[in-house]
Amino acid sequence: MIDSVVFGSLWSQHSIKALFEEGARTRAWLEIIAVLAEVEAEFELIPSSAAQAIAACCRALDVDDSFLDEVRRGREASGHSMQGMIVAIQSRLAAGDAQWVYTGATVQDVTDTWLMIALREARGLIERDLDTTCRALAALARRYRDTPMAGRTHGQQGLPITFGFKVAVWLAELRRHGRRFAEIAARMDLVQLAGGVGSLSSFGPRGLDVQRRFAERLGLHVPLASWTSSRDVLAEWCGVLTLLTGTADRIGHEAYNLQRSEIGEVREGLLAGTVGSITMPHKRNPEISEHLGTLARLTRHLGAAMAEGLVHDHERDGRAWKTEWHAVPEATMLAGRAVELLAQMVAGLEIDAARMRSNLDASGGFMLSEAIMLALATRLGRDAAHRLMYDLSIAARAGGRTLIDAVRGEAAIVGVLDGQELDALLDVASYTGRCAEMVDRVLADAP
């Protein structure tokens, strides 16, 4: 579906998808092969004239359907991942130059190096949309810092909170993911130039200098040791994407639930022309909220596949390594689209503060049971106060009464709490704890 002309935009944003498209990947591979030849010539591993010819050929190649088909045929004929590409380049060079194409390198030297370059670009795009989302959430948290609403646990109304507090919790979580991206960046962007088993033996006594120069030319870091069989950083990358899309799904799922007709406190913004149902014209569906869940589920499964790929045999294992060819690009595209959609959803959220207050008032005061219990506890003891409020709540619900009416008619309560104190306790909007102060702390913690 990612490649679908009709549905592709559901699964990936254009900018990230473009990084992993076959033409872009092939052109990047050709550039890496060109740089490799030039660096090898610097260290007199191959003739300078051959390096110039190889680099010029790689950079001049037209990566069209015909060339890709040629590479495909070569791969199928050889059964080797890179042989089709090598032969296609060699066929365009003089015999004396052709023999030096890809000297000393192995497949992962090009594919791993390219992947780190592509992920560096993707990471920047994801961080951009994550920052946009965080700025929009900060504005919402500030605006609705003191707006009361029902806090819910296990799907039921629990205690009053503020909508700003709810948003601040989302914001704090997303900012943690932003820090995770910054942290993982220090472990990514690594070059791979290792040779057959990672020893750099094919690059001679100055192999480490060749590796360093190769990395420098490509704007990458040098690893402490070859990582052909050490894939923890890529598994970590997909783990961070799993966390990020999980949070996006959580925010989307909350919006989905709060948009329910029976609740109606939050709604996705309605874009002109959006159709909710072709048979029910009135429908206004939370399309983005739902799709965030789809993207997150797929990302989680791909993250699990990457965890399987942590185990390699010896110095290379095609089974584990080739799993990455599918899992890493797709997880990156899915996560990138999720964050882009999350930013869009947050920017357009419609908040119904009046409905939030209406739902609070419609609760019949049952959300105030804790406040009254704690006030009674100083007079009656905690256990006795809990038992009194528990029995009163059960009886009030059974009798179709509000808790407020039940409390005002309960002698055991009005006998120990005076009218002014009881009035204050029965103001549902005032019992939001330290929600507003926590909003302030989150806003003050901006990176």
Active site residues: 154, 277
User: Which pair of tokens denotes residue 293?
Assistant: 């869940």
- The Cα–Cα gap between 371 and 428 comes to 10
- The Cα–Cα gap between 250 and 24 comes to 34
- The Cα–Cα gap between 108 and 104 comes to 12
Q: Specify the DSSP class assigned to residue 221.
A: B
Helix axes 369-380, 382-398, angle to 10 degrees: 140
DSSP 265-312: SEE----TT--S-SS-TT----HHHHHHHHHHHHHHHHHHHHHHTT--
267 φ, ψ (degrees, to nearest 5): -140, 145
How many other β-carbons are positioned within 10 Å of the β-carbon of residue 219? 11
Could you give the 3-state DSSP secondary structure of residue 362? Answer: coil
Residue type (1 letter), 5: V
- Please answer whether residues 63 and 30 qualify as being in contact, where contact means their C-beta atoms are separated by less than 8 angstroms: yes
Could you give the 3-state DSSP secondary structure of residue 66? Answer: helix
